[in-house]
Structure 1
Amino acid sequence: MNDNTGRPAFRHDTRAVAEWYRAFAANQAAGSSPSLERWASAIAEDGDLLALLAPLPYDKQQPNLVFAAARWHGARPGDTDSLRELLTTRWAAVETTIRMRATQTNEAARCAAILLGLRLVPGPVALLEIGAAAGLCLIPDRYSYTFGGNTRLVPVDGPSPVSIDIRLGDGLRPPAAMPDIAWRAGLDLNPLDPADPDTLAWLQILVWPEHETRRARLAAAIALAAEHHVRVSAGDLRTGLEALAAAAPRGTTLVITHSATLAYLDEPARRKAVEHIASLGARRISFEARGVDPAVPHLDIPVTPSTLFVAALDGTPYAVGDGHGTVLGHP
């Protein structure tokens, strides 16, 4: 049993892990990262490797994290023999990295999906992100965007060193202006310092091997986040969110965002998170894999790499897209 991300609904079962890796290969890596598609498909059929992964904590079995740790320790992307040798001979070191690290990319291109939601909210906005990591999705108004190859949107003070190309499908129009963000803050269990070289090194390894454009964009976005000293506080959304939300200035619309974050929680915790945000009187913009946000209704369209994620305002879908946010379409 799984949700649409392929995430297994039960723990420590090699069959569930295999199902997750098959789904990752078919729904996420296919057509986007041949090397990770090969790796995921190989693990799904390898009982020895599945036996290594199955005892890991629920949130540590995910392909992105395991593959990043493997690359961190020298496995050659797409080379299944290299992956198997590393995992079977140096598992202790790889496991330590998996347990110590997390997939905290907060891909900057996802800000396009956030912008589409912010234009539906009256400003000025107080923007608060859950799972903010290094704060890359807290500065959507600091990036430049090109929508559909011709419509350009730039920050009010001029073009940004970070330029994001977004392919918009029929039925979606680009934002006419940047949102008025008067205040911003983030919350994360493990905030990342964008000025720390180790942060950049780890986030770079999380970017899929073939995605050189994303890697360059990440480096530029990290530098921009460091320049603007984005505030990301350490804390759990169950205990730290209320105090942080209370700091939002009066006269602003509090908007709480999260992208590829709820998937790290089990289903009861997801529901509690959504209910908690609603209890604060905040608007909520989510960009999560389909089937993850409990408030978002089922969409009767096929799940493909370009429709894997859904953007929603207070649970109402307004766009679907790929997991990196560079392709957005009408739901």
Structure 2
Amino acid sequence: MRYIIIGAGAIGGTVAGRLTEAGHDVVLVARGAHYEALRDHGLRVSTPDGARTHPLPTVQHPHELGELHPDDVLFLAVKTQDSQAALDDWSLRPVAGGGTAAQRLPLICAQNGVESERMALRRFRHVYGMCVWLPSTYVEPGAVSAAGAPYTGILHLGRYPSGVDETARAIAADLEMTKLLAPVVPDVMRWKYGKLLANLINAIEAVSGPVTSSAAIELLTRAQAEGRTVLKAAGIEAASEQEQAEARGDRIRFEAVEGAPRSGSSSWQSLARGTGTIEADYLNGEIALLGRLHGVPTPVNEGLRQVANAFAREQRQPGSMPVDEMTALLDALGRG
């Protein structure tokens, strides 16, 4: 199989590097300065076991690849707010032997949140969810790092909305030839909802810095309590924190990566890079959406969504609002 990594940032780039090390064909899809660096100098992946540079075919647009192969796998690793454009770009691409990518090729949604799978299923027949636990960082154009060891990450994989098949097993086998764990599960969205609850921390960290103070921990506790309440009201089951921790066990620990200090969450990195967007609509905003659908108030998550989006639009520095100030702002928004 050939893996087309749509969004070769921290997650996509790390997976691409590990697949390449195991001898698999990989194509990178990127844009802007990152695309230029990858095209001209290759993909540099730094991990606790060293740094490697991989000269890989890199494109900005699907038409640059021409006709796709019947054994291609589309690996969607853009932020959810960029999913729609990527699905539009790739769904109608022709595949050798007839048909389109949407009709014939598997599409893996390797992203935070739970919305991209629904977006994809409107177009693609063969959609797979992936719950990504892979601590990684976009270092600079052309370079990513990942701090996990001895395994780089754990990627629960299954069909969307549920089930397993031979394609999922074959993809998992390829991933596990590398330093990645890829359990194939029939209930992948249960794992992704569990990760969603954990990712409610992202907006707090992005706006106010590491969640270590009692005030920050209290705010996270409130956000996650709202999340659990709305999931229960919606009849949605989520993998527990204990189950997720047991799945990782002692197989993934953080180690220093020379020349590539570990940064914050994906949301923190979006603010640090000044992208102008952030994934809060699909993390805290997912909780707010479910709350509205099921009559459950979610003022903390709605407030976090608003504040994180304002930080992204205004290109404010991550961690620049003290947590007490943010808490007061959220409480005011909740009363409004």
Structure 2 length normalisation: TM-score?
A: 0.24
Identify the structure with the greater helix proportion: 2
Higher relative contact order (CA 8 A, sep 6+): 1
Structure 1 length normalisation: TM-score?
A: 0.24
